[in-house]
Amino acid sequence: MKNEGISNKEELKGNVLKEARELTNIDISVIANEINFRLVAKQARLDQFYQIGQSHFIFRFKTKEGKIDLVFNPPKFLFLRESEKTETETNPFTTVLKNNFLNRILKSARQIQNDRILSLEFEGGSVILECIRKGNTVILKEGKIVGLSEEEKMKDRELQQNGTYAPPSTAKKEISNQNVIEAIKGKEKTVVAITRAVAIPALYANELLYEIGIDPKKESESLKPEEIKAIAERIEEFQRNLSEGKTRTLRYGEKYLVADKKLAESLNKKNGDTTGVESLSQILSSLYRKQMSTQIKTTTEKKMNQLLSRLEHQEIRAKQVEAEIEEEKRKGEWIISNIEKVNSLVQEYKSIKASNDKAMLEEFLNKNKAALTKNGIKLEI
């Protein structure tokens, strides 16, 4: 879809987008469509599976055109990219997933209850990707959980091996004209009232309200009936365009979102630097690469600092050891050069000790600048 006044660039250049935000349910819907178009429609097979961290996975798919990675690193990343070299770790979870789905055809990608949850459905089972909070990955076969990245026990649900899967409960209703109208009430800000009750992210609700000339911070009860009607109709229209694929991914300033024609034109008019990109995956891939690069740099710097600290400690210790050796050497040389005096003192000390004369012992110690120790006497040399 082309929008007048909005450029469409193949590559993301510059540093306008600093970092990724958390994924929204709308992002998941868009990514599901991308997966169905780029993988499902081409009968892609799972070629390999990698676990990078606790909730950081890469699914590698094989198509006739080549290999494509699906990167999952919640709560900010879920996207497709051209296959890249990956280092991995092996554990029971990755083994279960590979045993069940390796070389299996991906049948569909489906969003669950309009939430930040995606189901990858294969022949014989499915993999649930939850982008909520720190994320979770659940392997289902014949309705039972046969593997999951993290067991979970909460008030509304329990995820454990051999149990059944249930998504997190939500009080938010799906986007519809009536649900939006019912949500707009009370003294709450309009955007808060809508997003509290309806499954539309604040980022999108804010921009859609600005588009139709309504301040998102305006109290709900102060809205006129015609304004409420306009809000409900516009949000429902946006949802319809989203489900029909009549949207595109845009970036503006330090933000990015998916927009239909009306929203795109509004954003361009308001910001003046709106850029259309090929896909949401393109933006997320670019931001992911930037984040990974930063993490590698930070990790490298941390390791270098730790190494330098250890080297500095070793250097200090080496100097201490050297000083200790020199001191012991000096003591040894003194003993050798004063062997007769040392032997005489030892004999005198033994004699005084045998006599048990404390006054004589104290006089001996003072005269020879010595001190009693656990094993004998200590001389100052």
Q: Do 94 and 140 sit in the same domain of this protein?
A: yes
CB 46 within 8 A of CB 102: yes
* 128, part of any domain: yes
What DSSP string runs through 137-179? Answer: EEEEETTEEEEESS-EE-SS-EE-TTSB--PPP--PBPP-HHH
The range of the structural domain enclosing residue 302 comes to 288-334
- Max mean pLDDT range (125-139, 262-276, 320-334, 356-370): 125-139
| pLDDT exceeds 90 at position 69 | yes
* 201, part of any domain: yes
* 11, part of any domain: no
* 8, part of any domain: no
**pTM for this predicted structure:** 0.75
- What is the reported pLDDT for 91? 84
Region 328-336 average pLDDT: 83
Q: How confident is the model at residue 1 (pLDDT cuts 50, 70, 90)?
A: very low
Helix and strand numbers (H, E) in the chain are 10, 17
| pLDDT exceeds 80 at position 70 | yes
Q: Which of 43, 6, 4 is nearest to 277 (CA)?
A: 6
- What is the reported pLDDT for 300? 65
| Token digits of residue 233 | 């109709």
* 36, part of any domain: yes
Q: Do 37 and 138 sit in the same domain of this protein?
A: yes
Residue 249's H or E segment, with its range, is strand 248-252
Q: Do 370 and 315 sit in the same domain of this protein?
A: no
CA–CA separation, 199 vs 176, rounded Å?
10
Residue % of the chain over a pLDDT of 70: 93
Locus of tokens 């600290």: 309
Q: Do 28 and 153 sit in the same domain of this protein?
A: yes
pLDDT tens-digit map of 83-125? 988 877 778 899 999 999 999 999 999 999 999 999 999 988 9
| Token digits of residue 110 | 């489906």
* 118, part of any domain: yes
Beta strands at 7-8 and 275-277: parallel, antiparallel or unpaired:
parallel
Q: How confident is the model at residue 296 (pLDDT cuts 50, 70, 90)?
A: low
Higher-pLDDT residue of 340 and 140 is 140
* 9, part of any domain: no
Beta strands at 117-122 and 106-111: parallel, antiparallel or unpaired:
antiparallel
Least confident of 132-146, 243-257, 363-377: 363-377
Q: Do 263 and 198 sit in the same domain of this protein?
A: yes
- What is the reported pLDDT for 14? 44
Higher-pLDDT residue of 208 and 378 is 208
The total of structural domains in the chain comes to 4
- What is the reported pLDDT for 266? 94
- What is the reported pLDDT for 138? 96
Q: Do 187 and 75 sit in the same domain of this protein?
A: no
Q: How confident is the model at residue 287 (pLDDT cuts 50, 70, 90)?
A: very high
| pLDDT exceeds 50 at position 2 | no
Average confidence score pLDDT of the chain:
88
Q: Do 28 and 149 sit in the same domain of this protein?
A: yes
Q: What are 78's strand-pairing partners?
A: 72
| pLDDT exceeds 80 at position 6 | no
| Domain boundary pick from 302, 317, 334 | 334
Beta strands at 77-82 and 117-122: parallel, antiparallel or unpaired:
unpaired
- What is the reported pLDDT for 4? 35
Q: Do 97 and 177 sit in the same domain of this protein?
A: no
- What is the reported pLDDT for 330? 83
Least confident of 124-138, 197-211, 300-314, 339-353: 300-314
Q: Which of 279, 284, 208 is nearest to 240 (CA)?
A: 208
Q: What are 369's strand-pairing partners?
A: none
* 6, part of any domain: no
